[in-house]
A and B are shown apart, each in its own frame.
Chain A
Amino acid sequence: MSKRVTRIDELARDIPPARDLWPGISAAIEAERAAAAPAQSRRRSFWMPAAGLAASVLLVAVGVFIGKATTQQRQQVTAGTDRPGVETGAEIAVVPAHYQRDAEYRKQRKELLQEVNARLQTMPPADRAKVSASLETLRKSIDEIEAALGHDPANALLQELLVSSCQEEMRALTAVRDSGREEI
């Protein structure tokens, strides 16, 4: 039984459809997205290295901050207890302490740097400046971690941070090198 009305605008504005139309809409959206995907991925490929670098820089910067804070905290604790900053053997063994000095790593990095430098020369000046600055920031972060490790060589957190930062740098260098290949 429908209600009685005295004005046109008292009629219900909402009348749900007899069936759910969302599956059809969703399928059409997916199809449209799939059709648009190749063009988008081609556009994205040029910016992917830069975005990756930015993320890496942020990660390393946060890591350096945590590393410094932890180092200071430990120094305060050891000073309070009159004990030298001795770490247990288990903590030291968690990560390879001299990852950055590994000969194979150095060789790979050197080769990669040559390729990256060649790639940078082919980039537009503005892009080259941005990528170079990002790589420089990454390298500075690694240098800072190494310097901090010089004061606290057994710091497991710093060691771990150094390893992950070096890995991040290698990933970033690889991404820059491969960016030219993706665009072709």
Chain B
Amino acid sequence: MTQPDTVVNFDVALIERARRGDQKAFERLYREHVGRVNGLCLRMTRNPDLAADCVQDAFIKAWKALPKFEARASFSTWLHRIAVNTVLEKRRGSANNEVAVEDPTEYEEPTMVLDTPVEEEELEAAIASLPQGARDALVLCGVYGYEHSEAASMLGIAVGTCKAQLHRARGLLKERLERGVR
């Protein structure tokens, strides 16, 4: 797992309490993680209301699935996986799928360095303008730091497809930032 700033130790006690049905403990977990889960859902959906629905559904699913959660795993990753699944389910419901691109043979480094510094807002707008598949891969690998294998597993696609989507995202992002997308 590549997320460095997950407060795992603090979570362990809360998770144990929540697993035993302590709703207050689960609320604290919600307060701690909601920002990150919402950020992920918002970037994947580009719609604040839809993202909020996904976040809410994801936490409800997490509560129900807590007994199955293995304490050794990262709660944050587990929660993100549920959130990504929820977003994908909503998309399937709205029949807004896009065709996946071909698998590339080259390896893509998830971390992306920009040629010149850009405003956060400008970068967010450029990411939001990307096609769905490319955006998903960029958000999970580039913004949230997941490995290709983790992101591919969350998205239900092949690792090669994830790499291809990220490659595509990088190209499109560079092009759009140069063009000045707003």
Contact call A21/B120, Cβ cutoff below 8 A: no
Query: Smallest CB-CB separation from A36: which chain B residue?
Result: B64
- Interface: B160 (CB within 8 A): no
Query: Smallest CB-CB separation from B63: which chain A residue?
Result: A29
Considering only residues 1-53 of chain A, those with a C-beta below 8 Å from chain B are 2-9, 11-19, 21-22, 24-26, 28-29, 32
CB proximity of A25 to chain B, nearest CB, Å: 5
The number of residue pairs between A and B whose CB atoms lie closer than 8 Å in the complex comes to 94
Residues of A within 8 A of B26 (CB): 29
Question: How far does the alpha carbon of A12 sit from the alpha carbon of B38 in the complex, in Å?
Answer: 11
Contact call B123/A5, Cβ cutoff below 8 A: yes
CB proximity of A7 to chain B, nearest CB, Å: 5
Residues of A within 8 A of B40 (CB): 13
CB proximity of A175 to chain B, nearest CB, Å: 24
- Interface: B178 (CB within 8 A): no
Considering only residues 16-43 of chain B, those with a C-beta below 8 Å from chain A are 23, 26-27, 30-31, 34-36, 38-40, 42
A contact residues, range: 20 to 34
**Contact pick for A18, options B23, B48, B142, CB 8 Å:** B48
Contact call A11/B124, Cβ cutoff below 8 A: yes
Residues of B within 8 A of A19 (CB): 52
Considering only residues 94-150 of chain B, those with a C-beta below 8 Å from chain A are 111-114, 116-121, 123-124, 138, 142-145
CB proximity of A17 to chain B, nearest CB, Å: 5
Contact call A9/B142, Cβ cutoff below 8 A: yes
Contact call A8/B117, Cβ cutoff below 8 A: no
Contact call A6/B30, Cβ cutoff below 8 A: no
Question: Are A25 and B30 CB-contacts (below 8 A) given A2-B121, A11-B120?
Answer: yes
Per the CB 8 Å criterion, the residue count for chain B at the interface is 38
Question: How far does the alpha carbon of A182 sit from the alpha carbon of B97 in the complex, in Å?
Answer: 53
Residues of B within 8 A of A17 (CB): 34, 38, 48, 51-52, 55
- Interface: B60 (CB within 8 A): yes
Question: How far does the alpha carbon of A9 sit from the alpha carbon of B43 in the complex, in Å?
Answer: 13
- Interface: B75 (CB within 8 A): no
Question: How far does the alpha carbon of A9 sit from the alpha carbon of B5 in the complex, in Å?
Answer: 13
Query: Counting chain B CB atoms within 10 Å of each CB, which of A6, A15, A22 scores highest?
Result: A15
Contact call A14/B35, Cβ cutoff below 8 A: yes
Query: Smallest CB-CB separation from B124: which chain A residue?
Result: A11
CB proximity of A128 to chain B, nearest CB, Å: 30
Query: Smallest CB-CB separation from A7: which chain B residue?
Result: B113
Question: Are A6 and B117 CB-contacts (below 8 A) given A17-B52, A32-B64?
Answer: yes
CB proximity of A18 to chain B, nearest CB, Å: 6
Contact call B118/A7, Cβ cutoff below 8 A: no
Residues of B within 8 A of A15 (CB): 35, 38-39, 42
Contact call A2/B119, Cβ cutoff below 8 A: yes
Query: 17 A-B residue contacts at CB 8 Å?
Result: A6-B113, A8-B123, A9-B145, A11-B143, A12-B39, A13-B143, A14-B39, A15-B42, A16-B35, A17-B48, A17-B51, A19-B52, A21-B56, A25-B30, A29-B26, A29-B60, A32-B63
- Residues of B at under 8 Å CB distance from A? 23, 26-27, 30-31, 34-36, 38-40, 42, 48, 51-52, 55-56, 59-60, 63-64, 111-114, 116-121, 123-124, 138, 142-145
